[in-house]
Amino acid sequence: MYDRGGERGLALIVALWGGAILAVVVMSVLQLTRADARLIRGTQDVAELNAIADAAVNMTILAMLGPPPTRPTINTGPATVTFAGVPVQVTLMDESGKIDVNLAGARTLRQVLSVAGMDPGQAEPMAEQIVAMRTPASGGAPFSSVEALQRVPGLTPAVYRRMAPMLTVYSQSAWIDPTYASLESLNAFRAFDSGADAAWRRLVEERTRSRGSTQKPSVVLGHAFTIVAEAVAGDVRVTRVAVIRLTGQPRSPLLIYRWH
C-alpha cells in the first residue's frame, strides 16, 4: 500500500497524465481540422474516425487512472464513449484472465489445445513443440504475440481460431486469475486447479441463471488490459486496439505494449 505521501504523488502523476491525455485528444481534433482538402471524402471519414477511436481509448485510460470508485468495470461487454458527437463502443478486458503462452506449462497448453478441438494424441506433442519454440535453450524465442502461434507447424487455422481468445503474452503469469477468466480459459485449468473449477461452475450457473450474477471486477493496478474501440459513421467503420499495463508506479503509471 502507498503511504499518504505516495498517494499524493500518485494523484499528482495521474493528474499530469490526465492532462497529457487531454492534450492528445485536443491534438487529434486539431489534426482533423487541418486535413488536406484534396483528400476524397471517404479518406477523410476514415481519418476522422481513427482520431475519434484514439480519443475514446485515451478517455478510457484516463478513467482507468481515476479514483477506484469511478474506474470502469471490465470483461462486461462494450460501453459507449462519446467523442465529437460520435458514440464509440469500447470493450475493456483484463489479460490476467487469459493463459500466457510464454509461461504456461506443457500440461496447460495441452489442455488448451484439447479444449480447442485437437485430438489428445496430437495435443501432447504440439504442446511440447510450442514450449520448445519459445525456449532460448532450444533455439527458440518467446512469442511476441498470440498471432505468432500461427507459424507453429501443424497447428491448423481452425484450432488456432478457437484457442486464440484464451491466450495472451501479457499476463506475465503461468496461471490465470479466475476472477477475470472466460469459461474456455477456466476449462483448461479445471482438471488440476480447484479454484479454476469452482470459478467455472459459478460462471456456468450465472449463465444458466441458476444463480445471480456476482459483482463484476473493476480495474486493478499492476494488470495488463486490452482496450478495443470501434467507431462507426455511415458505412465507415474503424477499430483501434490498445494493450496497456497500469503499473501503479507514480513516476511511470502506464506502459503501452500495442496500439494499432
In this predicted structure, the answer to whether residue 31 has a pLDDT above a threshold of 60 is no
- Whole-angstrom distance, CA of residue 162 vs CA of residue 155: 11
Out of 148-152, 174-178, 211-215, pick the least confident: 211-215
Backbone φ and ψ for 242, nearest 5 degrees, come out as -125, 140
> Does residue 87 belong to any structural domain of this protein?
yes
In total, the chain counts a number of residues equal to 260
Please list, in sequence order, all residues whose beta carbon lies within 8 angstroms of the beta carbon of residue 193, skipping any fewer than 6 positions away.
Answer: 175
Neighbours of 8 (CB within 10 A): 12
Distance of CA 119 to the CA centre of its chain: 29
Domain tally, the chain = 1
User: How would residue 99 be classed by pLDDT, with cut points 50, 70 and 90?
Assistant: very high
110-140 tens-digit pLDDT? 999 998 999 989 999 999 999 999 999 999 9
> Does residue 159 belong to any structural domain of this protein?
no
Q: Residue 179: helix, strand or coil by DSSP?
A: helix
44-90 tens-digit pLDDT? 678 889 999 999 999 999 999 988 888 998 888 899 999 989 999 99
Q: What per-residue confidence (pLDDT) applies to 240? A: 96
> Does residue 189 belong to any structural domain of this protein?
no
34-47 tens-digit pLDDT? 444 334 445 667 88
Which amino acid is present at 205? E
> Does residue 234 belong to any structural domain of this protein?
yes
In 3D space, the residue among 217, 214, 229 whose CA is nearest the CA of residue 260 turns out to be 229
Q: Determine contact, residues 258/241, Cβ cutoff 8 Å.
A: yes
Query: Is 158 buried (19+), middle (13-18) or exposed (0-12) by CB count in 10 A?
Result: exposed
User: How would residue 216 be classed by pLDDT, with cut points 50, 70 and 90?
Assistant: low
Residues spanned by the domain of 238: 4-96+217-259
> Does residue 118 belong to any structural domain of this protein?
no
Percent of the chain with pLDDT over 70: 80
> Does residue 55 belong to any structural domain of this protein?
yes
> Does residue 230 belong to any structural domain of this protein?
yes
Q: What per-residue confidence (pLDDT) applies to 201? A: 85
Distance of CA 90 to the CA centre of its chain: 12
> Does residue 202 belong to any structural domain of this protein?
no
Angle between helices 4-33 and 41-64 (to 10 degrees): 170
User: How would residue 32 be classed by pLDDT, with cut points 50, 70 and 90?
Assistant: very low
